[in-house]
Amino acid sequence: MSTSVASGMPRRLRGRLSALPTMPLDILFEIFSYLPPGDLVQLARVTKPFRQVLLSRSQSALLWTQSYELVPDVPPCPEDMSEPAWAHLLFGGSYCYTCGTKPVNKIMFLFRRRACKNCIKKHMYQIHALPFTFDQWESELLYCIPVFIGEIKSYGVGRFWWDSDVEALRHDLDALLARRDGDRGDAYRQDLSGLADSMGILLKTKQEHVGLCEGWEDARIGDRSVEIMEIKEQRFDE
Ligand SMILES: [Zn+2]
C-alpha cells in the first residue's frame, strides 16, 4: 500500500483497505460496485494495480457507470471527460491542479479544473495579453473556447482565457493552416467558420452543464454548512 496516501487516511479505513490488494479481481469488482465515485477515486490512489484497473476504460467502464448511479444527484460526466477524471474533479480533493496549493474548494467547471488565486493570475489572460497570436478571423474562435467573464483581482473586470486552452486552439489552427499550405485565404476562412460552428455548439452544451454543476455545488456547500452547524450545536450541547 502506498504509505503516502494511506497515511492520510483514518487508521480504521487503512486497516480495512489493507486486505483489498490480496483479493481476486472479481471479488474486488463486486466490492467496488457498491462504492460511490468519491470512494473509487480514493481507492485508485491506494495501489498501482487499483489505479490501473480503475482508470482503464475497457476494464472499469461499467463499474463507474454503476458507481454514478449510486449518487443520482451528482451531475453526469460530460462527454469531453472520462468518468474517473470527472470523479477526480468533483471528489479528488480541494487542491490547485497546477501547483497543489490547498484548499481550493471552488471548482472552475467550465475550465475543468481547480485553481488557486496565484495560478489564476498566472495562467489567465485577457485578449490583449494572450501569449499566442491570432489574426482577425482566427480570434473569433476564442469565443468558442471557455472564457471567464468577471473580475480577477489586480486585473479588473473583463474576459479571461486559460493559457493552455488558448495554446490548444492555436495548435488546432496551425494544423488547419498547414493543410492549406499556410494560405489564409477564402478556403482557410471557410475552415474557420465550420470550426466555429461545431465548437460553438460544444461550448453551449458545456455551459448548460456548468449551470447544472454549479447548482449541485451550491446545494452541496449548503448541506455542508448545515452539517457544520449541527456539529457545532452538538458540541455546545455536550
Ligand atoms: Zn495554484
Assign residue 58 the CATH number of its domain.
1.20.1280
Which of the four pLDDT bands, split at 50, 70 and 90, describes residue 227?
A: low
Spatial contact of 165 and 146, defined as CB atoms under 8 Å apart: yes
Residue 64 lies in a domain: yes
| Rounded distance from Cα 219 to ligand 1 centre (Å) | 25
Indicate whether 188 and 225 sit together in one domain. Answer: yes
227 against 208, higher pLDDT:
208
Indicate whether 130 and 208 sit together in one domain. Answer: yes
pLDDT at 38: 93
Number of domains in the chain: 2
Indicate whether 167 and 216 sit together in one domain. Answer: yes
Residue 112 lies in a domain: no
Kindly tell me if the per-residue pLDDT of 146 is higher than 80.
yes
| Rounded distance from Cα 38 to ligand 1 centre (Å) | 22
Residue 63 domain boundaries:
3-91
- Tell me the C-alpha distance between 79 and 214, whole Å: 18
| Rounded distance from Cα 158 to ligand 1 centre (Å) | 21
| Rounded distance from Cα 99 to ligand 1 centre (Å) | 4
Residue 99 lies in a domain: no
Residue 97 lies in a domain: no
pLDDT at 221: 75
Indicate whether 82 and 177 sit together in one domain. Answer: no
Average pLDDT rounded to a whole number, residues 172-181? 97
pLDDT at 72: 86
Closest CA to 158 of 188, 196, 180, 127: 127
| Rounded distance from Cα 124 to ligand 1 centre (Å) | 12
Residue 100 lies in a domain: no
pLDDT at 17: 61
Indicate whether 74 and 21 sit together in one domain. Answer: yes
Closest CA to 39 of 104, 97, 87, 73: 87
Closest CA to 13 of 38, 27, 26: 38
| Rounded distance from Cα 98 to ligand 1 centre (Å) | 5
Report which listed range, 45-59, 96-110, 213-227, is most confident: 96-110
Residue 208 lies in a domain: yes
| Rounded distance from Cα 59 to ligand 1 centre (Å) | 33
Average pLDDT rounded to a whole number, residues 85-107? 94
Helices (H), 33-162: 37-44, 48-55, 57-69, 83-91, 117-123
| Rounded distance from Cα 163 to ligand 1 centre (Å) | 14
| Rounded distance from Cα 111 to ligand 1 centre (Å) | 14
Kindly tell me if the per-residue pLDDT of 32 is higher than 50.
yes
Average pLDDT rounded to a whole number, residues 31-57? 88
- Tell me the C-alpha distance between 191 and 182, whole Å: 13
| Rounded distance from Cα 118 to ligand 1 centre (Å) | 6
Indicate whether 151 and 214 sit together in one domain. Answer: yes
Kindly tell me if the per-residue pLDDT of 11 is higher than 90.
no
**Whole-number average pLDDT of the chain:** 87
Sheet-wide strand order for 156-162: 124-125, 156-162, 148-152
pLDDT at 154: 84
Which of the four pLDDT bands, split at 50, 70 and 90, describes residue 6?
A: very low
Whole-model pTM: value is: 0.81
Tens of pLDDT, residue by residue over 178-204, are 999 999 999 999 999 999 999 999 999
Indicate whether 46 and 156 sit together in one domain. Answer: no
Indicate whether 55 and 129 sit together in one domain. Answer: no
Q: Cite the beta strand spans of 165-236 per DSSP E.
A: none
Residue 185 lies in a domain: yes
pLDDT at 220: 81
| Rounded distance from Cα 113 to ligand 1 centre (Å) | 11
| Rounded distance from Cα 115 to ligand 1 centre (Å) | 5
Average pLDDT rounded to a whole number, residues 46-53? 85
